Structure 1
Amino acid sequence: MVFQKIDIANYILARLEEPVSPMKLQKLLYYCYAWQLVAGEHLFDARFKAWKFGPVDIDIYHEFKSFGAHSIPKPPVVGIPNLPLINLVVDSYGIFSAAELSKTTHAEDPWKKYLHTNNYISDEVMIQFYSKQPFRNNFPIGSQDGFYPPKMASHYMFTFDMEDEDIPQFDSIEEYVMELQGSNDDLTQFVSEQTS
């Protein structure tokens, strides 16, 4: 079944516990779209242009632009069944800020290739790029052992020469999220100790 992209956007908003800005929603929708292409699932149609702060679907932009940099309220009950692919992408990328997601798209070829054009980022370019990323190993969902986290902006800065066998793998997405939260807590504590 193919859903409307506004329904997928609302599904993403309903899935996340924390507030979501229009910019973060755009990046999450973009990653959901890119990974559905790689996984060979057709859940929704969208078209993205490479804007200053990352990929943007124009229709979704107009739907939520009135919120500016503020959080979008949670939608009423979303009438979409459980979508494991969307859940995996949102759970994997949704723990990052809008700024971190934006920086990550800036490090990736699809955005870089289309930035100074007025063209839509092509599905073929997305497939070509993302099908080479370790996160691809999470598809089809349920068929793999472990979880391969997405490459974020910091990964591109520090691991440009990393081999595939060196890429971190976790037992589950839950382990990955706990590891990130623990790292964030450690950093917060370190900064607090240094400034007091």
Structure 2
Amino acid sequence: MKRRYPLVAASVAAIVIACSSCAQPAQDHSGHVSTTQWVSKPELTYVSEFPVSEDLSERSAQELAVRHLSEALKSLPGELSLTISDRWGGHAIDPRFVDTCTTDRTVQNAPLGLWINYLVTGAEAPVQQYIDAFRSSWQNLGWKVSNEPAIRTDLIRATTPDHFTLTAMVSMTGELGLALASPCFPNTARGNADPLPSHIAHP
């Protein structure tokens, strides 16, 4: 069986209890206030800091995900692009999967999240050097960046104003990966997504 989480394990491990502040509307770097409503359900423990977006579906989550991934590449060195792969660090992975957004996997009709894993290809320098490039790019976009170099030099994470989380990291075998986790969406909104692009070129 394929291992699903190697690229996003660090994100999933940081499990956060839903809080009242998660229900506040988000404001992006241009001052625009999102109309997305974040529904707090404190009786459940989520794998996302922003538990459930009632107006998000699997289809719209993927469309936004691909848009964010393209945006993430825009101010990076032009040689970089993204390619779907079912291998990471010498192990089999699922490059795209939908799974429950709660840590208790027995919850009936639990909200879901979308996880996507790409390899960053075309690097012309040691892949470790691109971590700083990701940091600068995401900061320029106004995304919230975490994991400073003093903590981990092989990983950088950013959160978009609409609460998608992107993680760039270097594997033990020297591959550079970019993973994305969507906010949670209702279980009833699963399906109808188009095939994921096998390649995302530099814009």
Q: Which has the higher contact order (CA 8 A, sep 6+)?
A: 2
Structure number with higher helix proportion: 1
Structure number with higher strand proportion: 2
Which TM-score applies when normalising by structure 2?
Answer: 0.25
